[in-house]
Amino acid sequence: MIDLAHRILTDISMVFDYAIVLEKVDYNFCSKVKKFLKTHSPTGFISIKESEIPELLRSISFYKNERSDIIRYALKFISLTFVRSKELINAEWSEIDWAKRTWTIPKEKMKMDREHIVPLATQALDLLSEIKEYTKNDVYIFPHYFHNRPLKSNRLIYALYDMGYKGRMTVHGFRSMASTILNEQNFNVDAIELQLAHLEANKVRRSYNRSEYFEERIKIMQWWADYLLDKFPEYISGKQLSLDM
């Protein structure tokens, strides 16, 4: 019901926007209503409060163990892109288009069996450049000890546990956190849902929205990266390996 309320409000808002163009009304009243609608986190996506974000980003930046370098890179990249864990660890360099600033995840790697495009913010591209220089791997962005295999997903959740976030934050929690905050910022709810790669239940609406909102999604991803860096400016700053307590 929460998603339905947001989508109905979005549709009504589009009508008001059109009415403004036709000079039938002067103001879109929906802009004041959205902030009063409830938002929800997907079940099981345990996530920290917004006030705890700076400390989480700091904890990730200074995390150390026997594989902390690649794990730190992976956690930073998933926080910037809020994809699913499986999509992250199986990411390959061939899926990155540096010129178009996108990461195209093939449908066979997606939960919904549909190709998914992730617009990459400037900070995400900077991070990718550092990762490539660090790993020297031509296939996997986040390789395991052996370069012909991807990093194991449980490494990420165990890292969060090591940082003291067991029961407070999960890897999927980055999706919940981004969804909640982006909705509160009044970004288009359909654009947010598309970026989260959620399958639209209504087949007609899904067909229509498939190629929509890409420019909006570019703005969303850059805003989100800027937001995280505002919370902890050193999060993506120079060589990650140079960070020291």
Summarised one tens digit per residue, pLDDT across range 158-213 is: 999 999 999 999 999 999 999 999 999 989 998 999 999 986 545 445 544 555 68
Buried b vs exposed e over 175-211: b needs ≥16 C-beta within 10 Å? bbbbbbbbbeeebbbbbbbbbbbbebeeeeeeeeeee
Q: Does the annotation count 208 as an active-site position?
A: yes
Are residues 95 and 184 located together in one domain of the fold?
Answer: yes
pLDDT for res 204: 43
Please state the φ and ψ torsions of residue 73, each to the nearest 5 degrees. Answer: -60, -45
Are residues 214 and 144 located together in one domain of the fold?
Answer: yes
Catalytic residue of the set 100, 149, 208, 210: 208
92 - beta bridge partners? 140
Are residues 143 and 182 located together in one domain of the fold?
Answer: yes
Q: Does the annotation count 172 as an active-site position?
A: yes
Are residues 15 and 93 located together in one domain of the fold?
Answer: no
Are residues 104 and 126 located together in one domain of the fold?
Answer: yes
Are residues 214 and 127 located together in one domain of the fold?
Answer: yes
Kindly report the average pLDDT of the chain as a whole number.
84
Catalytic residue of the set 6, 34, 72, 84: 84
Structure pTM?
A: 0.77
User: How far from the centroid of its chain's Cα atoms is residue 78's Cα?
Assistant: 7
DSSP 65: S
Q: Does the annotation count 84 as an active-site position?
A: yes
CA dist 220 and 226 (Å) reads 10
Catalytic residue of the set 34, 175, 213, 217: 175
Catalytic residue of the set 86, 198, 219, 231: 198
Are residues 92 and 7 located together in one domain of the fold?
Answer: no
pLDDT for res 25: 76
Are residues 109 and 230 located together in one domain of the fold?
Answer: yes
Report, in angstroms and rounded to the nearest whole number, the Rg of the chain calculated over CA atoms.
19
Q: Does the annotation count 38 as an active-site position?
A: no
Are residues 24 and 44 located together in one domain of the fold?
Answer: no
* The total number of structural domains that make up the chain: 2
Supply the range of the domain harboring residue 27. Answer: 1-38
Are residues 31 and 144 located together in one domain of the fold?
Answer: no
Q: Does the annotation count 34 as an active-site position?
A: no
Higher pLDDT, 16 or 217: 217
1 has pLDDT over 70: no
Summarised one tens digit per residue, pLDDT across range 127-160 is: 999 999 999 889 999 998 767 789 988 899 999 9
CA dist 92 and 132 (Å) reads 11
Are residues 90 and 118 located together in one domain of the fold?
Answer: yes
Are residues 73 and 188 located together in one domain of the fold?
Answer: yes
CATH number of the domain at 168, please: 1.10.443.10
45: left (phi over 0), alpha (psi -120 to 50) or beta: beta
Buried b vs exposed e over 71-97: b needs ≥16 C-beta within 10 Å? bbbbbbbbbbbbbbbebbbbbbeebbe
Sign, CA dihedral 163-48-144-70, equals negative
Catalytic residue of the set 100, 111, 205, 206: 111
